[in-house]
Structure formats: C-alpha cells, structure tokens
Amino acid sequence: MSVYLYELPTTGAISFSDICGDVTPDKLFTTHISDATQSRANLRAVLKESKRTQIEEKDHLKLVKVLEEYLPKLRGLIACVDNAQIELLQSEPIFSWRTTLSANFLHHSPRLALPSFYAELAYTLLTYAFALSNLAHAKVALLGAYERNRNISEADRKAKDNQLNVAADLLYRASGIFSYIGETVLGQWDRSGSSAGVAKPPDLTQNMNNALAKLALADAQTLAIRKLLSKSAYDSNVTPGPPLPKSHPSPALISKLHLECAALYSSARTLAKTSGSTSSNGKGININISKDGEVSTDLRRYLNDETAIHEALAHKWLGVDAGENGGTDRGGDAVAFLVWTKKELEELKGRKKDRVSEELESVTVFLKHYKKINDSLHFQPVPSQADLQSRIPAGRLVQGAKTFVPPQPAFGPGSLEDVRRQAEELGLQDDQPQQGTYAGAGSYF
C-alpha cells in the first residue's frame, strides 16, 4: 500500500507592506500586515530548505505548522482588501510560485507570476494539501512491514495500526482541501477578474484539483485496507494462504474496497488527462490551451499503476471469497478469478517488481489450492474472463473526504478580533475564546 509523494513548490519573496496600505483611521492593521509578511517569509524559507533536503530528512510537520500559521493571516489580508480596509498600492499584487505538476522535457518546474490574493490562497492551500499528504507518506514509511514481523507484540502492532489511522486522516483532510481549491477558490479568482488572460498550469485547474482529491481519498482507503488486514496478516505469518485465519475480514468486503480504490484512481487519471494549462476569458470560462501530456509523468504513471494493482487485488479477493465461502458451486469461479489476477500481476511485474512479487506469491498459493480442490472434489467449469467481468460488484468507500473549513481570518472582518472590537463598541461583555483555531489544526498524532 503506497501514498503518493509530492514534489513541493517554492515561492518568491514578497513584502505585503510594499503592496498593502492600512486606510483605517486608527491604523488597525499595520502591525498585522508586517506579521503576515514575516509568516510568508517563514513559509518561503521552509520550502527552500525542503528543496535542499533529502527525502528521508524532510520535516513535513514543520511545513504544515508554518502553513497553518500563515493561512489565517492571508485570509485576514483578503478580508480587509475585499472590505476596503486595506488598499492595494499597486494595481494587482503578483505572487511568484514554481509549479510542480507540469511535465516538461527538462524536468524543470516553471516559475509562475500569478496576480491576485486568490491565486496566492490557491497555491498556499495546494501546498498545504501536498504537505499533509507527504506527512502521511512519511508516517507510513516509518512503519515498515510491521504486520509481517513475527516477533511484534500485540500492543506494538495496535500502536502501529493507530499510526496508519493517523496517516489516513491526514489524507482525508488533504482530499477535502483539494476539493475546496477546485470548487471554491479557483472560482473566486475567476470572478475577481484577475485571472483573465493568465495561463494556469494544471496545478490551478479544477479538473486537476478534483483529480488530486480522488487520489488522496484512494490513498487513504489503501491504508484503511491495510489496517483491516493487519491482524490476519500477522496471524498468517507462519502458514500463509488458505484456509484464512479467523481474524481475517470478509474477502468480499476487501474486494469491494479495492474496487473503489481502482475506481478513484481511474477517475483521477481521466481528470488529470484533461487538466492541461488553461486561460480564463474573463467571464469565468476557462479555455484549454495545453498540449497533450502536460501533467507530470510521475503522477500519470502512479495513477495508471495504482488503478491496475487495485483491480488485480479486487479480483484476487473475489476469487478467495469464492474459494472460501462459495461452497461446491463456486470452485470454478475461484480458479478463474485467481488465474485472471495472476495474469494482471505478471503484466505489472516490470513496473512494481517488489510489491507485485509478494502478491504473485500469495495468489499462486491460493490458486494452487483452489485448483486442486476443484479438480478433485467440485469439478466446476472455469468461467471465462468476460463472464467474470459481468459479475464484478460495485466498490465501497470506507470514509469520505473531510470537508475543509477555512481558518478564521487572523484580523479584519470575520476575525475574533473584529468581533471583540464590535462588542466593546456596543458595551457588551466579551466572552469569546482568546484564540481561534480551525477544524483539524494541529491533529497530527
């Protein structure tokens, strides 16, 4: 079970004091403008540091926390600009970001000049979702193949199961953020009129963000499957293969979970294929101006491979279900599904050798057993692949994405500070909490 690892973007320096002027009589936001500049400088520094750091040494949690510090301040700037409490000292602020999802011959991420605070919000949230996904990837990598360790204690195994749940939760959150970008922020940018004529990379298209939302959801589901199989995988260490241990969850359920993963990855792959660069015509309509293959090769390959692997694993568990729970009438189905699975895995072996080799060994053990039983006891005909295809059930989702609730602005309209000030002006008792947080903030362990 894998989690996609994103290349993180980098961003150019910017001083909000140079582009934003506090027009309130009491200069309420001058300090906040300075603080926002510092928070963004911190973000830029962490992204640059991450670019220079080896994969296993990257501090993903540090990046997440820096982003969570910056986002409320960015929201405060946007709220103040939209409500004319801060004025722009130039026609439109330009933010520089380096895209990471675009394919090109030199494998060099192009730098973008993006107008509008909404473009900045979109790319900051995109980076936030990348960071949460990469943090999940790092947590899973630290676990190793713990369920295959014959010497692990029950307490340690359950503790590692819990870490799988934590990683999956990070991915459910990332999925919600990708959806929020595609469904809300990009529309706000278009409606502001600032995106007119801007060539958007795949990273800033609705289709691509919807694809990434599905990818994160599918990655989370793979971790849920692994957690479901953890106890039975440990119990099968000594005698892998049939019969299944009593701790094994329903093979029919596992097959449906894999089918849903395959469907999500496949849908993401289709959306990614239609996610080339676009340019807005200023009326909220995006015109595709890309060439084929603009989305990065690594991402497209990942989606292709994961779709194929989960389709194969779904067929494996349908075969095991027929063999274990189908009685004498489904001996042929068990053989047919496992023959199909073996063929699919052998086609994938060159692309995912280590991961596929282990599954091939397992499938071979089950196939040998069920074929022997069918040839000697059941004598059921082995159906064709086309016949099996017509009987594939629908997939099942363990859990949906977590809806992203944007953080309260740190200052300006909509902030707790603004609510307190209004209450004081009305002579009301302020019983608001001292600091605002937002759903999911800080929940990494």
Give how far Cα 36 sits from Cα of 33, 39, 434, Å.
5, 5, 19
* Non-local CB neighbours of 5 within 8 Å, separated by 6+ positions: 55, 133, 134, 137
In angstroms, rounded to a whole number, what is the distance separating the alpha carbons of residues 400 and 218? 10
Please give the pLDDT value at position 430.
Answer: 47
What integer pLDDT is reported at residue 432 of this predicted model? 52
Tokens of residue 191, six digits: 């409606």
CA 361 centroid distance within chain: 30
pLDDT of res. 207? 96
Q: How confident is the chain (445 residues) per 10-residue block, as mean pLDDT?
A: 91 96 94 98 97 92 98 98 93 90 64 93 98 97 93 95 98 98 97 87 94 98 97 88 93 98 98 71 42 76 96 98 92 97 94 88 96 94 96 96 97 92 74 52 58
What pLDDT does residue 278 have? 57
CA atoms of 243 and 438, how far apart (whole Å): 48
Pairing of strands 278-280, 199-200: antiparallel
Q: CA 137, CA 140: separation in Å to the nearest integer?
A: 5
pLDDT value at residue 282: 45
Q: Diameter of the chain by CA atoms?
A: 91
| pLDDT in the model for residue 52 | 93
**Residue 438: per-residue pLDDT:** 54
CA–CA gap between residue 69 and residue 40 (Å, rounded):
9
Give me the domains of the chain, ranges plus CATH numbers: 16-325+384-389 (1.25.40.280)
Against a cut of 0.85, is the pTM above it?
yes
Q: Give one DSSP letter per residue of 271-314, joined into a string.
A: HHHT---EEE-SSS-EEE-PPTT-B-HHHHHHHHHHHHHHHHHH
